[in-house]
């Protein structure tokens, strides 16, 4: 059966992935086997699914079958398919009674779980030359699995305090989220004190890698930046309204937006987000997790977070993308104290184009720039109720017939000069709000 599985996984995505085989069990008895995957599965996903299915087949029986949503494996001592013809799979036999929900959840968890030895081998034992970066939640490494697939491995900090069961439950929920503007979560590993997330590998690093390095600015002309803003908005809309759950990111920033080979944005680190119940719109926390400068006033001051907290972060991110400046680049200057103040001053003075990243030259569309700035300022209003939803933002970005309303004075986070949070863009994982 393993040999049969190896034969079908090499078929291209979209092809009918199934196969049958008859083998001699004794001189007079035969065993008939069948394996099958749904056409949408890649060879790698088909392998993982069948491997799990075959592991669950009963031993010592004359027949056995395991039916998963995306694959199945079965054997009998009589021919249950047309022998000599494997061009078309026969209709599936009547499935057994529905598996209890708990058993289904266990199967999903097992299909997502990597063993630690596999992760170590993929990352060369987490060697420094495989390290991609480090954030508030842990270190990230590039890995290559035995089948050649590239992955990104996030080794979480051991101080998270989250239990293994809770961690697995959250991973299962997040793994179900799929959108072209989200980094896909492939699985996880839990062994001892190790908690690891396995993501798809996105080749072009993060948005800040291009924004903050002058020699790379040329790769982000206006059309690419506008496309990136729109893609981030669509990804956030999916998290807030279109997924099965209501997901609040809580740490949306330039370094948490990855770029694929076509410079399309993919939001990362939403697996660390607060997962809301369906009827919940706001929550309070005694620990603020995020990046100072991107966090909304109500989140920093009172620990209140909601979808509108993410909207605030998105507004700041628009200003970062347009200006090419870090949020902390004004800390030592005698001018405006922060990026938001700097942007608003140019808005009031009517010198908007002086706010733009000078490397853009004349490549921008003036109307699109003004539209983005207006939306950005609307997102950073002092009161959360005055900020638009992500659905409204996507509509305003995509429709020239809709004029964004004029923004009022934005929120200002006035902080002490000696407050260490304003010095860098590191994520805050355990800071008690004032």
Closest to 54 in 3D by CA, of 45, 66, 63, 43: 66
Asked if 130 and 71 count as a contact pair (C-beta separation under 8 A), the reply is no
The two beta strands, 71-76 and 64-67, are antiparallel
Q: Which residues contact 429 (CB under 8 A, 6 or more apart)?
A: 136, 137, 157, 287, 289
- Between CA 416 and CA 423, with CA 421 as vertex, the angle to 5 degrees is 90
Residue written as token pair 């509108």: 308
The CA-to-CA distance between both ends of the chain, in Å, stands at: 62
Dump the DSSP string for 230-295. Answer: HHHHHHHHIIIIISSSEEE-S---GGGEEE-TT--EEE--GGGSEEEPTT--EEE-SSEEE-TTTS
Residues facing residue 32 across a β-bridge: 22, 76
Q: Which residues contact 360 (CB under 8 A, 6 or more apart)?
A: 221, 222, 225
269 labelled catalytic: no
Rounded CA separation 287/401 (Å) = 42
- Report residue 383 as tokens: 């009161």
Catalytic residue among 251, 269, 310, 338: 251
Rounded CA separation 326/232 (Å) = 18
Rounded CA separation 282/425 (Å) = 25
Residue written as token pair 């008939």: 32
- Report residue 70 as tokens: 């995306």
Rounded CA separation 34/419 (Å) = 65
- Report residue 95 as tokens: 């499935």
Asked if 57 and 67 count as a contact pair (C-beta separation under 8 A), the reply is no
C-alpha count within 13 angstroms, C-beta hemisphere, residue 255? 17
Q: What is residue 90's DSSP assignment?
A: P
Query: Which residues are catalytically annotated?
Result: 251
């Amino acid at each position: 059966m393993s040999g049969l599985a190896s034969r079908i996984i090499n078929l291209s995505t979209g092809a009918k992935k199934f196969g049958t085989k008859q083998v001699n069990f004794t001189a007079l008895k035969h065993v008939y086997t069948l394996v099958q995957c749904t056409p949408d599965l890649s060879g790698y996903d088909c392998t993982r699914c069948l491997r799990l299915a075959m592991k669950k087949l009963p031993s010592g029986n004359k027949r056995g079958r395991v039916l998963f949503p995306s694959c199945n494996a079965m054997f009998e001592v009589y021919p249950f398919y047309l022998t000599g013809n494997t061009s078309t799979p026969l209709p599936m036999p009547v499935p057994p009674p529905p598996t209890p929900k708990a058993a289904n959840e266990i199967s999903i968890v097992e299909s997502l779980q990597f063993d630690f030895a596999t992760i170590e081998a993929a990352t060369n034992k987490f060697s420094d030359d495989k390290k991609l970066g480090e954030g508030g939640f842990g270190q990230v490494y590039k890995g290559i699995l035995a089948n050649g697939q590239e992955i990104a491995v996030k080794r979480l900090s051991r101080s998270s305090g989250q239990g293994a069961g809770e961690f697995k439950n959250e991973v299962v929920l997040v793994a179900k989220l799929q959108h072209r503007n989200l980094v896909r979560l492939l699985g996880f590993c839990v062994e001892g004190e190790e908690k690891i997330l396995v993501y798809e590998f996105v080749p072009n690093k993060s948005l800040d890698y291009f924004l903050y390095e002058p020699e790379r600015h040329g790769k982000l002309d206006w059309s690419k930046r506008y496309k990136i803003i729109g893609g981030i908005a669509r990804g956030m809309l999916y998290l807030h309204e279109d997924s099965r759950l209501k997901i609040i990111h809580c740490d949306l920033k330039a370094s948490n937006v990855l770029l694929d080979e076509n410079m399309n944005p993919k939001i990362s680190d939403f697996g660390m987000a607060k997962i809301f119940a369906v009827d919940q719109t706001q929550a309070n926390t005694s620990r603020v997790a995020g990046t100072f400068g991107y966090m909304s006033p109500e989140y920093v001051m009172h620990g209140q977070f909601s979808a509108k907290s993410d909207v605030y972060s998105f507004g700041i991110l628009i200003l970062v993308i347009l200006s090419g400046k870090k949020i902390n680049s004004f800390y030592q200057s005698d001018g405006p104290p922060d990026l938001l103040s700097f942007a608003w001053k140019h808005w009031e003075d009517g010198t908007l184009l002086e706010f733009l990243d000078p490397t853009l030259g004349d490549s921008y569309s003036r109307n699109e720039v003004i539209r983005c700035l207006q939306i950005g300022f609307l997102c950073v209003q002092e009161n959360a109720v005055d900020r638009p939803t992500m659905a409204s933002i996507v509509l305003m970005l995509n429709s020239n017939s809709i004029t964004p309303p004029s923004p009022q004075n934005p929120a200002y986070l006035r902080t002490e000069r000696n407050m260490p949070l304003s010095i860098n863009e590191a994520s805050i994982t355990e800071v008690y709000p004032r």
